Structure 1
Protein backbone atom coordinates (compact mmCIF):
# COMPACT_ATOMS: atom_id res chain seq x y z
CA UNK A 1 0.00 0.00 0.00
CA UNK A 2 1.24 3.48 -0.80
CA UNK A 3 2.27 5.64 2.10
CA UNK A 4 -0.48 7.85 3.43
CA UNK A 5 -0.67 11.37 2.02
CA UNK A 6 -2.96 14.30 2.75
CA UNK A 7 -4.06 16.20 -0.33
CA UNK A 8 -5.64 19.66 -0.39
CA UNK A 9 -7.80 19.83 -3.52
CA UNK A 10 -8.75 23.40 -4.40
CA UNK A 11 -11.78 23.63 -6.65
CA UNK A 12 -13.13 20.25 -5.65
CA UNK A 13 -16.43 20.48 -7.54
CA UNK A 14 -14.75 20.95 -10.92
CA UNK A 15 -15.02 18.16 -13.49
CA UNK A 16 -11.33 17.24 -13.35
CA UNK A 17 -11.32 17.42 -9.55
CA UNK A 18 -14.30 15.06 -9.30
CA UNK A 19 -12.47 12.56 -11.50
CA UNK A 20 -9.26 12.98 -9.50
CA UNK A 21 -10.80 12.60 -6.03
CA UNK A 22 -11.53 8.84 -6.23
CA UNK A 23 -8.12 8.18 -7.79
CA UNK A 24 -6.46 9.69 -4.72
CA UNK A 25 -8.80 7.97 -2.27
CA UNK A 26 -8.14 4.61 -3.96
CA UNK A 27 -4.49 5.07 -2.95
CA UNK A 28 -5.68 5.31 0.67
CA UNK A 29 -4.73 8.99 0.67
CA UNK A 30 -6.83 11.53 2.52
CA UNK A 31 -8.40 14.35 0.51
CA UNK A 32 -9.74 17.68 1.71
CA UNK A 33 -11.86 19.11 -1.10
CA UNK A 34 -12.54 22.84 -1.09
CA UNK A 35 -15.80 24.02 -2.68
CA UNK A 36 -17.81 27.24 -2.47
CA UNK A 37 -21.42 26.01 -2.59
CA UNK A 38 -22.86 24.13 0.43
CA UNK A 39 -25.42 22.51 -1.88
CA UNK A 40 -22.59 20.51 -3.50
CA UNK A 41 -21.36 18.86 -0.30
CA UNK A 42 -23.59 15.78 -0.29
CA UNK A 43 -22.84 14.81 -3.89
CA UNK A 44 -19.13 15.28 -3.43
CA UNK A 45 -19.04 13.18 -0.29
CA UNK A 46 -20.40 10.25 -2.32
CA UNK A 47 -17.11 10.23 -4.26
CA UNK A 48 -15.49 8.68 -1.19
CA UNK A 49 -17.93 5.79 -0.79
CA UNK A 50 -16.15 2.47 -0.37
CA UNK A 51 -12.66 3.83 -0.94
CA UNK A 52 -9.61 3.58 1.31
CA UNK A 53 -8.88 7.21 2.04
CA UNK A 54 -10.90 9.73 3.97
CA UNK A 55 -12.69 12.54 2.13
CA UNK A 56 -13.37 15.81 3.90
CA UNK A 57 -15.36 18.54 2.11
CA UNK A 58 -14.91 22.13 3.27
CA UNK A 59 -17.02 25.07 2.07
CA UNK A 60 -14.77 28.11 1.49
CA UNK A 61 -14.69 30.88 -1.10
CA UNK A 62 -11.36 31.07 -2.90
CA UNK A 63 -12.46 34.43 -4.26
CA UNK A 64 -12.23 35.79 -0.72
CA UNK A 65 -8.63 34.63 -0.24
CA UNK A 66 -6.80 37.92 -0.69
CA UNK A 67 -3.45 37.28 1.03
CA UNK A 68 -0.75 34.67 1.45
CA UNK A 69 -1.62 34.62 5.16
CA UNK A 70 -5.24 33.62 4.48
CA UNK A 71 -4.09 30.82 2.19
CA UNK A 72 -1.54 29.72 4.78
CA UNK A 73 -4.26 29.62 7.42
CA UNK A 74 -6.25 27.09 5.36
CA UNK A 75 -3.12 25.04 4.65
CA UNK A 76 -2.27 25.01 8.35
CA UNK A 77 -5.82 23.87 9.12
CA UNK A 78 -5.79 21.01 6.60
CA UNK A 79 -2.10 20.04 7.01
CA UNK A 80 -1.61 18.65 3.48
CA UNK A 81 1.67 17.46 2.03
CA UNK A 82 0.31 17.75 -1.53
CA UNK A 83 -1.78 20.60 -2.96
CA UNK A 84 -3.73 20.52 -6.24
CA UNK A 85 -5.13 23.65 -7.87
CA UNK A 86 -8.08 22.69 -10.06
CA UNK A 87 -10.12 25.81 -9.37
CA UNK A 88 -10.91 28.84 -11.46
CA UNK A 89 -13.49 31.16 -12.90
CA UNK A 90 -12.47 29.92 -16.34
CA UNK A 91 -12.87 33.35 -17.87
CA UNK A 92 -16.56 33.43 -16.94
CA UNK A 93 -18.27 36.32 -15.21
CA UNK A 94 -16.68 39.70 -14.59
CA UNK A 95 -12.99 40.00 -15.57
CA UNK A 96 -12.19 40.84 -11.96
CA UNK A 97 -13.43 37.43 -10.87
CA UNK A 98 -11.02 35.61 -13.19
CA UNK A 99 -8.13 37.68 -11.89
CA UNK A 100 -9.20 37.21 -8.26
CA UNK A 101 -9.38 33.42 -8.52
CA UNK A 102 -7.21 32.17 -11.41
CA UNK A 103 -4.40 34.65 -10.73
CA UNK A 104 -4.50 36.16 -7.25
CA UNK A 105 -5.89 33.33 -5.11
CA UNK A 106 -3.77 30.78 -7.00
CA UNK A 107 -0.64 32.84 -6.34
CA UNK A 108 -1.50 33.17 -2.65
CA UNK A 109 -1.84 29.39 -2.32
CA UNK A 110 1.39 28.79 -4.25
CA UNK A 111 3.39 31.10 -2.00
CA UNK A 112 1.74 29.73 1.14
CA UNK A 113 2.51 26.17 0.02
CA UNK A 114 6.17 26.93 -0.65
CA UNK A 115 6.32 28.62 2.78
CA UNK A 116 5.02 25.43 4.42
CA UNK A 117 7.86 22.89 4.78
CA UNK A 118 5.50 19.91 5.02
CA UNK A 119 4.04 20.66 1.55
CA UNK A 120 6.29 18.99 -1.02
CA UNK A 121 4.20 18.99 -4.22
CA UNK A 122 1.83 21.46 -5.84
CA UNK A 123 0.07 20.53 -9.08
CA UNK A 124 -1.47 23.36 -11.07
CA UNK A 125 -3.97 22.50 -13.81
CA UNK A 126 -3.27 25.12 -16.46
CA UNK A 127 -3.61 25.09 -20.25
CA UNK A 128 -1.36 24.54 -23.25
CA UNK A 129 -1.41 28.15 -24.43
CA UNK A 130 -0.20 29.62 -21.15
CA UNK A 131 3.19 30.86 -22.39
CA UNK A 132 5.04 34.17 -22.63
CA UNK A 133 7.45 33.11 -25.39
CA UNK A 134 7.62 30.70 -28.33
CA UNK A 135 9.29 27.42 -27.34
CA UNK A 136 11.97 26.03 -29.66
CA UNK A 137 9.80 23.01 -30.54
CA UNK A 138 6.99 25.17 -32.01
CA UNK A 139 7.24 26.74 -35.45
CA UNK A 140 6.57 30.46 -35.86
CA UNK A 141 3.32 29.59 -37.63
CA UNK A 142 2.15 27.47 -34.70
CA UNK A 143 3.13 30.23 -32.29
CA UNK A 144 1.15 32.85 -34.19
CA UNK A 145 -1.89 30.57 -34.26
CA UNK A 146 -1.55 30.09 -30.51
CA UNK A 147 -1.30 33.84 -29.92
CA UNK A 148 -4.46 34.39 -31.94
CA UNK A 149 -6.27 31.90 -29.74
CA UNK A 150 -4.94 32.39 -26.23
CA UNK A 151 -4.33 36.13 -26.26
CA UNK A 152 -7.48 37.16 -28.08
CA UNK A 153 -10.29 34.69 -27.53
CA UNK A 154 -9.10 33.88 -23.98
CA UNK A 155 -7.38 37.14 -23.07
CA UNK A 156 -8.19 37.55 -19.37
CA UNK A 157 -7.99 33.81 -18.68
CA UNK A 158 -4.60 33.72 -20.42
CA UNK A 159 -3.31 36.70 -18.43
CA UNK A 160 -4.42 35.18 -15.14
CA UNK A 161 -3.08 31.68 -15.82
CA UNK A 162 0.30 32.70 -17.23
CA UNK A 163 0.92 34.91 -14.19
CA UNK A 164 0.13 32.08 -11.75
CA UNK A 165 2.16 29.55 -13.77
CA UNK A 166 5.23 31.80 -13.64
CA UNK A 167 4.92 32.25 -9.87
CA UNK A 168 4.63 28.49 -9.35
CA UNK A 169 7.77 27.88 -11.38
CA UNK A 170 9.84 30.64 -9.77
CA UNK A 171 8.66 29.99 -6.21
CA UNK A 172 9.00 26.24 -6.62
CA UNK A 173 12.69 26.60 -7.46
CA UNK A 174 13.33 28.14 -4.06
CA UNK A 175 13.06 24.78 -2.28
CA UNK A 176 15.01 21.71 -3.46
CA UNK A 177 12.46 19.45 -1.76
CA UNK A 178 9.45 21.06 -3.47
CA UNK A 179 7.98 20.23 -6.89
CA UNK A 180 5.74 22.82 -8.51
CA UNK A 181 4.19 20.88 -11.39
CA UNK A 182 2.21 22.76 -14.02
CA UNK A 183 0.11 20.30 -16.06
CA UNK A 184 -1.04 21.97 -19.27
CA UNK A 185 -3.82 20.25 -21.26
CA UNK A 186 -5.45 21.29 -24.53
CA UNK A 187 -9.18 21.53 -25.26
CA UNK A 188 -10.88 19.47 -22.56
CA UNK A 189 -13.26 16.64 -23.49
CA UNK A 190 -15.40 14.05 -21.72
CA UNK A 191 -13.62 11.07 -23.34
CA UNK A 192 -12.44 8.25 -21.05
CA UNK A 193 -8.85 7.78 -19.92
CA UNK A 194 -6.63 7.03 -22.86
CA UNK A 195 -3.10 7.31 -24.17
CA UNK A 196 -1.43 10.70 -24.01
CA UNK A 197 1.21 12.97 -25.40
CA UNK A 198 3.23 14.48 -22.54
CA UNK A 199 6.14 16.90 -22.61
CA UNK A 200 7.49 19.02 -25.47
CA UNK A 201 4.72 18.50 -28.01
CA UNK A 202 5.21 19.73 -31.61
CA UNK A 203 1.67 21.10 -31.79
CA UNK A 204 -0.09 23.81 -29.81
CA UNK A 205 -3.67 22.63 -30.08
CA UNK A 206 -5.68 19.46 -29.70
CA UNK A 207 -7.87 17.62 -27.24
CA UNK A 208 -7.21 16.40 -23.72
CA UNK A 209 -9.56 14.04 -21.95
CA UNK A 210 -10.41 15.34 -18.48
CA UNK A 211 -10.15 11.76 -17.24
CA UNK A 212 -6.59 11.59 -18.58
CA UNK A 213 -5.75 14.92 -16.96
CA UNK A 214 -6.96 13.54 -13.62
CA UNK A 215 -5.06 10.27 -14.16
CA UNK A 216 -1.82 12.11 -14.97
CA UNK A 217 -2.26 14.37 -11.94
CA UNK A 218 -2.51 11.33 -9.67
CA UNK A 219 0.51 9.71 -11.34
CA UNK A 220 2.59 12.88 -10.95
CA UNK A 221 1.68 13.14 -7.28
CA UNK A 222 2.68 9.49 -6.95
CA UNK A 223 6.03 9.91 -8.74
CA UNK A 224 8.77 10.06 -6.08
CA UNK A 225 11.40 11.90 -8.13
CA UNK A 226 9.27 14.42 -10.03
CA UNK A 227 10.82 17.89 -10.19
CA UNK A 228 9.63 21.46 -10.54
CA UNK A 229 8.44 21.61 -14.18
CA UNK A 230 5.84 22.45 -16.78
CA UNK A 231 4.37 19.48 -18.67
CA UNK A 232 2.23 20.00 -21.76
CA UNK A 233 -0.30 17.25 -22.50
CA UNK A 234 -2.70 16.16 -25.21
CA UNK A 235 -4.44 12.94 -26.11
CA UNK A 236 -1.76 10.84 -27.81
CA UNK A 237 -0.21 7.42 -28.27
CA UNK A 238 1.83 6.80 -25.10
CA UNK A 239 0.65 4.97 -22.01
CA UNK A 240 0.18 7.52 -19.19
CA UNK A 241 2.38 5.60 -16.75
CA UNK A 242 5.18 5.34 -19.32
CA UNK A 243 4.82 9.02 -20.24
CA UNK A 244 5.16 10.16 -16.63
CA UNK A 245 8.10 7.82 -16.03
CA UNK A 246 9.87 9.14 -19.15
CA UNK A 247 9.30 12.80 -18.31
CA UNK A 248 10.45 12.36 -14.72
CA UNK A 249 13.55 10.34 -15.64
CA UNK A 250 14.54 12.72 -18.47
CA UNK A 251 13.76 15.87 -16.50
CA UNK A 252 11.43 17.16 -19.22
CA UNK A 253 10.51 20.80 -18.59
CA UNK A 254 8.28 22.72 -21.01
CA UNK A 255 9.07 26.00 -19.25
CA UNK A 256 12.19 26.01 -21.42
CA UNK A 257 12.15 29.15 -23.55
CA UNK A 258 10.28 31.26 -20.99
CA UNK A 259 12.08 34.41 -19.81
CA UNK A 260 12.28 33.08 -16.24
CA UNK A 261 13.54 29.59 -17.18
Structure 2
Protein backbone atom coordinates (compact mmCIF):
# COMPACT_ATOMS: atom_id res chain seq x y z
CA UNK A 1 0.00 0.00 0.00
CA UNK A 2 1.24 3.47 -0.82
CA UNK A 3 2.16 5.80 2.00
CA UNK A 4 -0.49 8.31 2.98
CA UNK A 5 -0.76 11.43 0.83
CA UNK A 6 -3.11 14.39 0.81
CA UNK A 7 -4.31 15.60 -2.59
CA UNK A 8 -5.83 19.02 -3.23
CA UNK A 9 -8.26 18.48 -6.12
CA UNK A 10 -9.20 21.76 -7.79
CA UNK A 11 -12.42 21.54 -9.77
CA UNK A 12 -13.67 18.56 -7.79
CA UNK A 13 -17.17 18.51 -9.29
CA UNK A 14 -15.88 18.02 -12.83
CA UNK A 15 -16.36 14.69 -14.58
CA UNK A 16 -12.68 13.71 -14.56
CA UNK A 17 -12.29 14.82 -10.94
CA UNK A 18 -15.26 12.73 -9.82
CA UNK A 19 -13.74 9.68 -11.50
CA UNK A 20 -10.33 10.44 -9.99
CA UNK A 21 -11.53 10.96 -6.41
CA UNK A 22 -12.29 7.30 -5.55
CA UNK A 23 -9.06 6.17 -7.24
CA UNK A 24 -7.12 8.35 -4.80
CA UNK A 25 -9.21 7.43 -1.77
CA UNK A 26 -8.84 3.70 -2.38
CA UNK A 27 -5.06 4.21 -2.11
CA UNK A 28 -5.67 5.34 1.49
CA UNK A 29 -4.87 8.90 0.45
CA UNK A 30 -6.87 11.86 1.73
CA UNK A 31 -8.51 14.22 -0.76
CA UNK A 32 -9.71 17.78 -0.32
CA UNK A 33 -12.02 18.59 -3.20
CA UNK A 34 -12.67 22.24 -4.07
CA UNK A 35 -16.02 22.99 -5.69
CA UNK A 36 -17.95 26.16 -6.42
CA UNK A 37 -21.59 25.13 -5.90
CA UNK A 38 -22.67 24.27 -2.33
CA UNK A 39 -25.60 22.27 -3.77
CA UNK A 40 -23.08 19.69 -5.02
CA UNK A 41 -21.51 18.97 -1.63
CA UNK A 42 -23.80 16.04 -0.83
CA UNK A 43 -23.17 14.25 -4.11
CA UNK A 44 -19.43 14.79 -3.83
CA UNK A 45 -19.32 13.45 -0.29
CA UNK A 46 -20.87 10.18 -1.50
CA UNK A 47 -17.68 9.57 -3.48
CA UNK A 48 -15.85 9.14 -0.20
CA UNK A 49 -18.03 6.32 1.11
CA UNK A 50 -16.42 2.93 1.58
CA UNK A 51 -12.80 4.01 1.05
CA UNK A 52 -9.82 4.02 3.36
CA UNK A 53 -8.93 7.63 2.59
CA UNK A 54 -10.85 10.63 3.89
CA UNK A 55 -12.66 13.03 1.55
CA UNK A 56 -13.21 16.67 2.52
CA UNK A 57 -15.24 19.04 0.35
CA UNK A 58 -14.64 22.79 0.47
CA UNK A 59 -16.81 25.37 -1.28
CA UNK A 60 -14.61 28.05 -2.85
CA UNK A 61 -14.80 29.99 -6.12
CA UNK A 62 -11.63 29.63 -8.15
CA UNK A 63 -12.69 32.69 -10.14
CA UNK A 64 -12.06 34.71 -6.97
CA UNK A 65 -8.48 33.46 -6.66
CA UNK A 66 -6.80 36.52 -8.12
CA UNK A 67 -3.24 36.26 -6.80
CA UNK A 68 -0.51 33.78 -5.93
CA UNK A 69 -0.94 34.81 -2.29
CA UNK A 70 -4.64 33.94 -2.37
CA UNK A 71 -3.87 30.51 -3.83
CA UNK A 72 -1.13 30.04 -1.23
CA UNK A 73 -3.57 30.83 1.58
CA UNK A 74 -5.89 28.05 0.40
CA UNK A 75 -2.96 25.65 0.08
CA UNK A 76 -1.84 26.53 3.60
CA UNK A 77 -5.38 25.88 4.85
CA UNK A 78 -5.57 22.44 3.22
CA UNK A 79 -1.90 21.40 3.63
CA UNK A 80 -1.70 18.97 0.67
CA UNK A 81 1.45 17.38 -0.70
CA UNK A 82 -0.02 16.78 -4.19
CA UNK A 83 -2.22 19.13 -6.27
CA UNK A 84 -4.42 18.31 -9.28
CA UNK A 85 -5.91 21.13 -11.35
CA UNK A 86 -8.92 19.75 -13.23
CA UNK A 87 -11.08 22.87 -13.20
CA UNK A 88 -12.27 25.04 -16.06
CA UNK A 89 -14.90 25.85 -18.62
CA UNK A 90 -13.58 23.34 -21.16
CA UNK A 91 -13.99 25.80 -24.02
CA UNK A 92 -17.77 25.55 -23.85
CA UNK A 93 -20.65 27.74 -22.72
CA UNK A 94 -22.05 31.21 -23.51
CA UNK A 95 -19.62 33.91 -24.73
CA UNK A 96 -19.51 35.78 -21.42
CA UNK A 97 -18.79 32.53 -19.54
CA UNK A 98 -16.06 31.62 -21.99
CA UNK A 99 -14.46 35.03 -21.58
CA UNK A 100 -14.67 35.30 -17.82
CA UNK A 101 -14.55 31.69 -16.68
CA UNK A 102 -11.90 30.53 -19.12
CA UNK A 103 -9.53 33.41 -18.44
CA UNK A 104 -10.12 33.52 -14.69
CA UNK A 105 -10.00 29.76 -14.10
CA UNK A 106 -8.19 27.95 -16.93
CA UNK A 107 -5.50 30.63 -17.14
CA UNK A 108 -5.32 32.85 -14.04
CA UNK A 109 -6.32 30.49 -11.23
CA UNK A 110 -4.22 27.69 -12.75
CA UNK A 111 -1.15 29.93 -12.88
CA UNK A 112 -1.69 31.19 -9.34
CA UNK A 113 -1.97 27.66 -7.96
CA UNK A 114 1.06 26.47 -9.95
CA UNK A 115 3.27 29.24 -8.58
CA UNK A 116 1.89 28.87 -5.07
CA UNK A 117 2.48 25.12 -5.16
CA UNK A 118 6.08 25.51 -6.29
CA UNK A 119 6.54 28.00 -3.44
CA UNK A 120 5.30 25.40 -0.93
CA UNK A 121 8.15 22.96 -0.11
CA UNK A 122 5.80 20.23 1.14
CA UNK A 123 4.11 19.96 -2.29
CA UNK A 124 6.06 17.64 -4.56
CA UNK A 125 3.67 16.91 -7.47
CA UNK A 126 1.26 19.02 -9.52
CA UNK A 127 -0.87 17.56 -12.32
CA UNK A 128 -2.53 19.95 -14.76
CA UNK A 129 -5.16 18.57 -17.13
CA UNK A 130 -4.69 20.32 -20.47
CA UNK A 131 -5.37 19.11 -24.04
CA UNK A 132 -3.32 17.53 -26.77
CA UNK A 133 -3.01 20.54 -29.12
CA UNK A 134 -2.17 23.11 -26.45
CA UNK A 135 1.18 24.17 -27.84
CA UNK A 136 2.80 27.08 -29.67
CA UNK A 137 4.81 25.13 -32.23
CA UNK A 138 4.44 21.97 -34.29
CA UNK A 139 6.22 19.05 -32.63
CA UNK A 140 8.62 17.16 -34.88
CA UNK A 141 6.57 13.95 -34.54
CA UNK A 142 3.52 15.59 -36.22
CA UNK A 143 3.28 16.26 -39.92
CA UNK A 144 2.73 19.77 -41.19
CA UNK A 145 -0.71 18.67 -42.38
CA UNK A 146 -1.73 17.58 -38.85
CA UNK A 147 -0.54 20.87 -37.35
CA UNK A 148 -2.23 23.05 -39.98
CA UNK A 149 -5.48 21.10 -39.63
CA UNK A 150 -5.47 21.59 -35.85
CA UNK A 151 -4.76 25.31 -36.20
CA UNK A 152 -7.62 25.71 -38.67
CA UNK A 153 -10.13 23.62 -36.71
CA UNK A 154 -9.65 22.92 -33.01
CA UNK A 155 -7.54 25.94 -32.13
CA UNK A 156 -9.72 28.32 -34.11
CA UNK A 157 -12.96 26.95 -32.64
CA UNK A 158 -11.59 27.02 -29.08
CA UNK A 159 -9.51 30.19 -29.37
CA UNK A 160 -10.06 31.55 -25.85
CA UNK A 161 -9.68 28.13 -24.27
CA UNK A 162 -6.50 27.47 -26.25
CA UNK A 163 -5.00 30.83 -25.28
CA UNK A 164 -5.77 30.18 -21.61
CA UNK A 165 -4.47 26.61 -21.56
CA UNK A 166 -1.30 27.28 -23.52
CA UNK A 167 -0.43 30.08 -21.07
CA UNK A 168 -0.96 27.84 -18.03
CA UNK A 169 1.02 25.01 -19.63
CA UNK A 170 3.98 27.34 -20.15
CA UNK A 171 3.87 28.54 -16.54
CA UNK A 172 3.78 24.93 -15.33
CA UNK A 173 6.81 24.06 -17.46
CA UNK A 174 8.83 27.09 -16.37
CA UNK A 175 7.90 26.96 -12.69
CA UNK A 176 8.59 23.23 -12.55
CA UNK A 177 12.24 23.94 -13.39
CA UNK A 178 12.71 25.88 -10.16
CA UNK A 179 12.71 22.82 -7.91
CA UNK A 180 14.43 19.48 -8.45
CA UNK A 181 12.06 17.82 -5.98
CA UNK A 182 8.91 18.99 -7.77
CA UNK A 183 7.15 17.08 -10.57
CA UNK A 184 5.17 19.46 -12.79
CA UNK A 185 3.05 17.13 -14.93
CA UNK A 186 0.84 18.27 -17.82
CA UNK A 187 -1.53 15.49 -18.93
CA UNK A 188 -2.96 16.28 -22.35
CA UNK A 189 -5.96 14.23 -23.55
CA UNK A 190 -7.70 14.43 -26.93
CA UNK A 191 -11.51 14.71 -27.30
CA UNK A 192 -13.00 13.49 -24.03
CA UNK A 193 -15.58 10.72 -23.99
CA UNK A 194 -17.69 8.95 -21.32
CA UNK A 195 -16.32 5.52 -22.25
CA UNK A 196 -14.93 3.20 -19.53
CA UNK A 197 -11.24 3.23 -18.74
CA UNK A 198 -9.19 1.18 -21.14
CA UNK A 199 -5.84 0.94 -22.84
CA UNK A 200 -4.07 4.13 -23.87
CA UNK A 201 -1.63 5.80 -26.24
CA UNK A 202 0.66 7.96 -24.09
CA UNK A 203 3.61 10.23 -24.80
CA UNK A 204 4.59 11.48 -28.25
CA UNK A 205 1.38 10.54 -30.03
CA UNK A 206 1.67 10.59 -33.85
CA UNK A 207 -1.81 12.09 -34.27
CA UNK A 208 -3.76 14.97 -32.76
CA UNK A 209 -7.32 13.92 -33.59
CA UNK A 210 -8.73 11.16 -31.46
CA UNK A 211 -10.58 10.30 -28.28
CA UNK A 212 -9.63 10.00 -24.63
CA UNK A 213 -11.88 8.32 -22.10
CA UNK A 214 -12.33 10.54 -19.05
CA UNK A 215 -11.97 7.43 -16.92
CA UNK A 216 -8.60 6.74 -18.53
CA UNK A 217 -7.52 10.34 -17.88
CA UNK A 218 -8.43 9.84 -14.22
CA UNK A 219 -6.58 6.52 -14.07
CA UNK A 220 -3.43 7.97 -15.64
CA UNK A 221 -3.55 10.93 -13.24
CA UNK A 222 -3.66 8.57 -10.27
CA UNK A 223 -0.85 6.45 -11.69
CA UNK A 224 1.34 9.50 -12.30
CA UNK A 225 0.78 10.73 -8.76
CA UNK A 226 1.57 7.26 -7.46
CA UNK A 227 4.77 6.86 -9.51
CA UNK A 228 7.80 7.44 -7.25
CA UNK A 229 10.23 8.37 -10.04
CA UNK A 230 8.04 10.66 -12.13
CA UNK A 231 9.60 13.98 -13.13
CA UNK A 232 8.28 17.15 -14.70
CA UNK A 233 6.88 16.42 -18.16
CA UNK A 234 4.07 16.90 -20.64
CA UNK A 235 2.34 13.71 -21.83
CA UNK A 236 -0.17 13.58 -24.69
CA UNK A 237 -2.77 10.82 -24.47
CA UNK A 238 -5.38 9.05 -26.56
CA UNK A 239 -7.30 5.84 -26.23
CA UNK A 240 -4.95 3.18 -27.52
CA UNK A 241 -3.56 -0.31 -27.07
CA UNK A 242 -1.11 -0.09 -24.15
CA UNK A 243 -1.84 -0.93 -20.53
CA UNK A 244 -2.01 2.37 -18.58
CA UNK A 245 0.45 1.33 -15.86
CA UNK A 246 2.89 0.05 -18.48
CA UNK A 247 2.49 3.27 -20.49
CA UNK A 248 3.27 5.44 -17.46
CA UNK A 249 6.33 3.33 -16.59
CA UNK A 250 7.59 3.49 -20.18
CA UNK A 251 7.23 7.27 -20.37
CA UNK A 252 9.02 7.73 -17.04
CA UNK A 253 11.81 5.26 -17.91
CA UNK A 254 12.36 6.89 -21.32
CA UNK A 255 12.12 10.45 -20.00
CA UNK A 256 9.43 11.40 -22.51
CA UNK A 257 8.39 15.04 -22.46
CA UNK A 258 6.20 16.39 -25.27
CA UNK A 259 7.01 19.97 -24.27
CA UNK A 260 9.96 19.32 -26.58
CA UNK A 261 9.78 21.72 -29.49
CA UNK A 262 8.13 24.57 -27.61
CA UNK A 263 10.11 27.85 -27.72
CA UNK A 264 10.76 27.74 -23.96
CA UNK A 265 11.66 24.03 -23.77
Same fold (TM over 0.5): yes
- Deviations along 1:176-197, one digit per CA (max 9) or x if unpaired, are 0001000000000011010000
Q: Which runs of 5+ in 2 are unaligned?
A: none
Matched residues in 2 for 1:238 and 1:60: separation?
38
Matched residues in 1 for 2:138 and 2:168: separation?
18
Counterpart of 1:45? 45
Counterpart of 1:177? 181
Counterpart of 1:254? 258
Contact 1:121–1:179, Cα closer than 8 Å, also in 2: yes
Counterpart of 1:78? 78
Q: Which runs of 5+ in 1 are unaligned?
A: none
Contact 1:183–1:230, Cα closer than 8 Å, also in 2: yes
Counterpart of 2:89? 89
Contact 1:36–1:61, Cα closer than 8 Å, also in 2: yes
Matched residues in 2 for 1:131 and 1:216: separation?
21
Q: What is the count of residue pairs matched by the alignment?
A: 261
What is the DSSP-based 3-state SS (H/G/I as helix, E as strand, rest coil) of the residue aligned with 2:166?
A: helix
In the superposition, the TM-score normalised over structure 2's length comes to 0.98
1:15-30 map, 5 Å: 15-30=15-30
Counterpart of 1:57? 57
Counterpart of 1:101? 105
What is the DSSP-based 3-state SS (H/G/I as helix, E as strand, rest coil) of the residue aligned with 1:13?
A: coil
In the superposition, the TM-score normalised over structure 1's length comes to 0.99
Counterpart of 1:158? 162
1:83 deviates by 0.1
Matched residues in 2 for 1:156 and 1:149: separation?
13
- Deviations along 1:227-257, one digit per CA (max 9) or x if unpaired, are 1100000000000000000000111000000
Matched residues in 1 for 2:152 and 2:237: separation?
20
1:159-238 map, 5 Å: 159-238=163-242
CA-based RMSD of the aligned residues comes to: 0.6
Matched residues in 1 for 2:29 and 2:155: separation?
38
What is the DSSP-based 3-state SS (H/G/I as helix, E as strand, rest coil) of the residue aligned with 1:84?
A: strand
1:90 deviates by 1.8
Contact 1:62–1:105, Cα closer than 8 Å, also in 2: yes
Contact 1:120–1:178, Cα closer than 8 Å, also in 2: yes
Matched residues in 1 for 2:71 and 2:263: separation?
28
Matched residues in 2 for 1:248 and 1:97: separation?
34
Counterpart of 2:138? 134
1:89 deviates by 1.7
1:54 deviates by 0.2
1:32 deviates by 0.0
1:36 deviates by 0.3
